[in-house]
Amino acid sequence: MQQNLKPLLIIDSRYTLYDLRQKRTYKYNTVLQKSFILLQQHFQILVIFCHSKSNTNEFFYNEFQKNFQGIDSKQLSIQELQNTSFQNQEIIVVTHNYEQFILNQKYQLYYFSSVSQQLDKKKQLELKYYQANPKSNFHISHIQQIMSYFSKSENPFCVGYYFYPKKFNELIQFDALISNNNFNYIPIDFRFYNKYIQINLLFHRLMDIYKKKEINMKQNEVELFQQNYDKFITENAQIPVIDSIECLKTLIQRDELNIKLQSIFSSPQFQNAIQEHQIKIMTPEQIVYDNNYQHQDLSNLKYPLIVKSKQGALTANCHIMAIVVNEKGLRELFKQEQFKGQLILQQIINHNSIIYKIYQLGSKMIVQKRKSIPNIEINNFKFEEGFYIFDTQKDLFKNVSQCLKQVDEGIHECSNEDQLLKQMELLSSIISKDFNLHLFGFDIIGMNWEFYIIDINHFPGYKNVENARELFEQLFIQVSKK
C-alpha cells in the first residue's frame, strides 16, 4: 500500500473539541472550522471519539459530523485505537490523556490542555509531563497550534500564557500563540502550582477568571488560580509579566481612573501640548452614585446623561449602559436590576458620530476612526420613560438610533485631525508610562477644539491590526530586555 505523503494528525476529541464538563459542543465552531481548513492543507486528519460512555460518545460524534463535514472521524475504544496500525510515516497525536490515548507505533505527542478537564487528573498528568519536559515544545490549548510542528528551534524564547476562550480565539485567528522558529508558547493553568515549568515571560489576561459568564471554573478553582498566580509571581520575580495585575487595578474602577486621568491632563507636559496644538483633551463631568444607600439630590444634574457601572471590567453588566434625559428617567432607571449599586452618572458628549479608537500594542499606536452614536438631544428623545438601555458591544449607531425620533445618518469629518493625532500620541505614551501598561486601548470623542477620553481598556481586540503577531513578538523581546 502506498504511504500517504502528509503527516497523519490524530485528534482525541475529548476536551480538544468539546466541553465535556458541561456536556455541550464547543461554542467556537467558526474558529475551529477555519483551523481545520488550515490544518487540512498540511495534514491528513483523523478525529477519534473514544468516550467510555457510549451515549455521550454517540452524541458528540453526531455533533461533529454535523458541524465539521469533510473531516474523517471514527468511534473507537482506547483498546481498538491501540490495536490499529496506520500507514503514514509521520504521525502526530493530540490528547489530554497521554497515558491512555496511545498508539502501538512511533508518533509525536501534542499534550492538550483545557480548563474544562477534571482538576486532580489534569494536575497529576501535567506535573508528570513537565517533570520530564520542563520546556516543552508540544503543549497546546488549541488545535491550530499544531502548525508549530513545522517550526524547528533548539532554544526558542518561551512564553507562558493564560487567556479565557473568547480572547484566546481572537488571538489564534491572526496566528499569535502558535510556536515558531523563535517563540514557543506554553499554556499555564494556575489552578495548581507547576514547579517544573520553565518560561521566559508570562503573557495573560488573568483577571478574566472573575468573569463567571465567560469561563467554566468553580469558585474554589478561581481562588486557587489567584493564589498560585501570586505564588508564581513572588517566587519568579525575574520573569517579566505582560501586564501585571497591580497595574490593572486602577483601570477597573472608573472613578479612580477618572482621577488619575485628570492628574495627567493637568500635568505641565500635557498643558504645554495643549498650548502648542490648541486642542484640549479632558474627562467628561461625572459623579459616583450608589442607589442602594444614597438619597442624593439629583435636581442639579445636567441632562442628557450616560449611566454605567462604577466597575469598568469583570462584571456581567460592565458593557450595559443607559441614556437618561431627565430626573424622572433616572429614578425609573434605578429600579432596573442592571443598575443597582454604585454607578457613574456622566455627561453625554455629542461628537457628530465620530469615535477614535486608539490601540496601544507595545510601542505601536494604532488609530481607527469609526462611526459612533448619533448626537443626543433631549427634544429628539423618543421614549416617555426618559431612559434607554443599550449594550456597547453591539452596533452602537444602530442601537442608540432606536431611541431617537430623527437620526442624522451623516458623519461630519474632523477639521483638525492632525493636531488631535499628536495629542493622542502624547496621551497614549503617558498612559503607558504612568500605568506601566503595554496593551491597552481608549476612545476619544468630541468636536471642534474640545475632546474627551472615554475609559481605558486593558488588552482590547487587535483583530483589525496589521502584523499583530509580529508586534506581539517585538513586545515580548522588548519587555524581556528591560
Q: What is the DSSP letter of 311?
A: B
β partners of residue 446: 451
CB atoms inside a 10 Å sphere around CB 329: 23
Q: Distance between terminal CA atoms of the chain?
A: 57
Mean pLDDT by runs of 10 across the 482 residues of the chain is 77 79 58 91 96 88 88 94 92 95 95 88 94 90 93 86 87 89 94 93 89 70 92 95 88 88 93 88 92 75 92 76 94 91 92 92 93 91 94 85 85 79 93 94 91 91 86 95 84
* Widest pairwise Cα distance in the chain: 86
Gap between the Cα atoms of 300 and 309, Å rounded:
21
In contact, 92 and 84? CB cutoff 8 Å: no
Residue-level pLDDT at 200: 96
β pairing state of 342-347 and 44-49: unpaired
Residue-level pLDDT at 1: 43
Residue-level pLDDT at 26: 54
Q: What is the DSSP letter of 121?
A: H
Checking 30-36 for CB contacts under 8 A at 24+ apart, the result is: 31/169, 31/172, 31/173, 32/68, 32/143, 33/67, 33/68, 34/173, 35/142, 35/143, 35/144, 35/172, 36/68, 36/71, 36/143
Residue-level pLDDT at 56: 85
- Residue whose C-alpha is closest to residue 419's, from 395, 464, 450, 457: 450
Amino acid found at 210? Y
In this prediction the pTM is: 0.88
- CA within 13 Å, CB half, 263: 9
Residue-level pLDDT at 364: 93
Cell numbers 459568564 correspond to 213
Q: What is the DSSP letter of 135?
A: T
Residue-level pLDDT at 330: 93
Gap between the Cα atoms of 200 and 203, Å rounded:
10
Distance between alpha carbon 14 and the CA centroid of its chain, in Å?
24
Burial of 444 (0-12, 13-18, 19+ CB in 10 A): buried
